[in-house]
Amino acid sequence: MPVKNRFAEMLPEITEWRRDIHEHPEILFETHRTAALVADKLKEFGCDEVVTGIGRTGVVGIIKGKTDKSGRTIGLRADMDALPIHEETGLDYASKTPGAMHACGHDGHTAMLLGAAKYLAETRNFDGTVAVIFQPAEEGGGGGREMVDDGMMDRWSIDEVYGMHNWPGVPTGSFAIRPGAFFAAADLFEINVTGRGGHAAKPHDTIDTTVVASHIVLALQTIASRNVDPVKQVVVSVTSFETGSHAHNVIPETVKMKGTVRTLDPEVQDLTEARMKEIVEGTAATFGAKAELVYKRNYPVMVNSEEQTEFATEVARDIAGDCDEAPLVMGGEDFAFMLNARPGAYILVGNGDTAMVHHPKYNFNDEAIPAGCSWLAEVVERRMPAA
């Protein structure tokens, strides 16, 4: 089964939706315009039910098949939110919102799922029910968790759930996937260091928090190099370092650091958190300072179910001719919350030779739309074949 002809015909229309969403990016849960656009489209398509406000600003559309002898419901999910990045693409449809852009392709994900929803509502060539899920706040806000906590899975008796992400550097319209752990757990941390401030010309009268915090940053890197089994993955990154003073001649009283930890194994996650606490407090004490670690477990590991991954792979092969094994990804993905609630699979679709995601010059490749839409629709039609 190659790319469906219907999606090739719909490409200009879906592209128009995508570019409109791109032009009006919204951050985290503030996806009010996008959610309204999605809800209006789903009603226009003739969905049997359209519900807004799930997970704050999420939208769910329900499409019933010609028959429902199976009694099954499949969920298809797309994320809607943008990133706090200033766009530098120079596109005619570039972001009109300063400091915000669709730098991860969620505009494309939303447009592809809208395209699949329109097709499925037109044809209804399946036995069961489809829930098309449009989620806010994937980029750090945990919108997937919010929608699950709102009872979405039980409310519509969703049996399985599937998602998709574009992937730059992979040929346009090709696919890649892997079973089991796929995207990493994404934890957050803050470190607050307190010493004794003073004049920069008299460091002996101070406890220099800049020096203390710098030693902590370096010591944290030994978790990966000396504490964790080398064949297992861990990333500890300090991404923000802010002193309590910005003067040239002041040794600051305090330093605040922020960062992230990425792991694929619960034991490694536990070890990393424990070692971080020991290193932070112990290093500070060595210099006579105090330091506190605030550690937050944010997104869990995203794990693809074996059976659903095998099925998703077969569908992708039939559309694109092949489906590669995807690499482990140390980035986080809050579709993990939905896969923790129900079995399912998450797949990558090639975005071609474009800038990487989270880059100010990134843009979703509209040529990937027919393949992505075809995969979403085929998952439904083949998983719940018409009776």
pLDDT tens profile 140-156: 999 999 999 999 999 99
Write down the mean pLDDT value for the chain. Answer: 97
The string of DSSP codes covering 70-100 is S--EEEEEEE--BBS-------TT--SSTT-
* Residues 130, 199 share a domain: no
* Residues 132, 17 share a domain: yes
| Average pLDDT rounded to a whole number, residues 167-185 | 97
* Residues 213, 128 share a domain: no
* Residues 295, 220 share a domain: yes
* Residues 29, 81 share a domain: yes
How far, in Å, CA of 76 to CA of 344, rounded? 10
* Residue % of the chain over a pLDDT of 90: 99
Instruction: From 299, 334, 359, give the residue that closes a domain.
Output: 299
Query: What angle in degrees, to the nearest 10, is found between the helix axes of 32-45 and 106-123?
Result: 20
* Residues 378, 250 share a domain: no
* Residues 136, 31 share a domain: yes
CA-wise closest residue to 34 among 98, 100, 88, 99: 100
Write down the pTM of the prediction: 0.95
Specify the number of domains making up the chain.
2
Q: State the pLDDT confidence band at 1, using cuts at 50, 70 and 90.
A: low
* Residues 214, 80 share a domain: no
Task: Tell me the catalytic residues.
Answer: 81, 138
pLDDT at 3: 85
Q: What is the pLDDT of residues 222-269, one digit of tens each?
A: 999 999 999 999 999 999 999 999 999 999 999 999 999 999 999 999
CATH of the domain at 223: 3.30.70.360
β-sheet bridge partners, residue 42: none
pLDDT at 364: 98
Burial of 115 (0-12, 13-18, 19+ CB in 10 A): buried
> For 12, phi and psi rounded to 5 degrees?
-60, -40
* Residues 334, 264 share a domain: no
CATH of the domain at 92: 3.40.630.10
Structural domain that includes position 63: 5-183+301-383
pLDDT at 123: 98
How far, in Å, CA of 305 to CA of 335, rounded? 13
* Residues 250, 167 share a domain: no
pLDDT at 276: 98
> Is pLDDT of 387 > 90?
no
* Residues 263, 125 share a domain: no
Q: What is the pLDDT of residues 24-71, one digit of tens each?
A: 999 999 999 999 999 999 999 999 999 999 999 999 999 999 999 999
CA-wise closest residue to 384 among 44, 24, 71, 126: 126
> Is pLDDT of 353 > 80?
yes
Strands 49-54 and 58-64: antiparallel
* Residues 307, 163 share a domain: yes
| Average pLDDT rounded to a whole number, residues 93-111 | 98
